[in-house]
Amino acid sequence: MDFQTELKSRITQIEQILKNCLPEEKGYQKTVIEAMNYSVLAGGKRLRPMLMMETYRLFGGNGTVVEPFAAAIEMIHTYSLVHDDLPAMDNDEYRRGKRTTHAVYGEAMGILAGDALLNFAYETAAKAFSMEPGGASVGRAFEVLAQKAGIYGMVGGQTADVEAEGAGEASVDKLTFIYRLKTGALIEAAMLSGAILAGAGEAEQRLIEQIAGEIGMAFQIQDDILDVTSTLEVLGKPIGSDQKNQKTTYVSLFGMEQAKEKAGQLFGDAMDKLDSLSVKNPFLSELLRSLIHREK
């Protein structure tokens, strides 16, 4: 398997799914739709929809019911970035190498574009109900997506993160809480929803959720590292944001070497759990391995 060729193919597939799901730019609300589409189509790794679809394939899923969920989770992820970049939050003007949504369309439209993407995500995911009428797995996957995007997931983590800014050094417990919810929850939503939609058993679902949690935690620690070591050109967004916003990170708390060791340990634990499953998806395994070596 040529991983890079397969990766490009999957990104192309996800891009097409997103384009098929995004709203047409017309009507009096055209500006907010343009801002939504600009935000979603500005690039990115498409990691969360890819993890969802590959976990779906891992457990034998071969239909299209996963596609509305894949589009929805990328919309939710994108809305969170649009709001995260706002002046009231991180006040960043570049994301994925392009100007952020509020920098292009103004702060008010940035807020509305984020709101619209969140709502449109659920509208999109709800289309799966008509694809599998009476399918309990669709309802359960929808519940997981909504919960892990909300106050018990990503929004809860973002809340603790915002309150921790400038409040002195956060404890390890609080930092872990922030990372597991702010970043980990949507990765858990992606992989767990994919497993549910494919019909994985309860024990398999629990293991996948644990794997995703460890991947999410490691992914955020790697973000901390890149915020110090990378460049705007490579990373696609300003570096040094954590220090600018007086955020406690794994790097500031433990130092660079321990942060790298922790990320490696979490990735290793996740891979051991994935390898313990009787079902296999070589591309998913390679995708997860690639995350620890990413540069952006």
Q: What is the pLDDT of residue 164?
A: 85
What does the mean pLDDT of the chain come to?
A: 92
Structural Rg of the chain based on CA atoms: 18
**What local confidence, expressed as pLDDT, does residue 232 receive?**
47
- Which CATH number does the domain housing residue 72 bear? 1.10.600.10
Q: Which domain holds residue 274?
A: 3-291
Structural domain includes residue 116: yes
Which of the four pLDDT bands, split at 50, 70 and 90, describes residue 245? low
Tell me the per-residue pLDDT of 61-94, one tens digit each, with 9 for 90 and over.
999 999 999 999 999 999 999 999 999 988 889 8
**pTM value?**
0.92
Dihedral sign of CA atoms 186, 191, 194, 198 in order: negative
Q: Please give the tally of structural domains in the chain.
A: 1
Indicate whether 214 pLDDT > 80: yes
pLDDT digits (tens, 9 = 90+) for 119-167: 999 999 999 999 988 789 999 999 999 999 999 999 999 999 888 877 6
In a domain, 296, yes or no: no
Lowest mean pLDDT among 49-63, 180-194, 219-233: 219-233
Other C-beta atoms closer than 10 Å to the C-beta of 61 total: 22
Give a yes or no: residue 270 inside a domain. yes
Averaged pLDDT for residues 180-199: 97
Is the pLDDT at 37 greater than 60? The verdict is yes
Residue 39 pLDDT exceeds 60: yes
- Output the furthest CA–CA distance in the chain (Å, rounded): 53
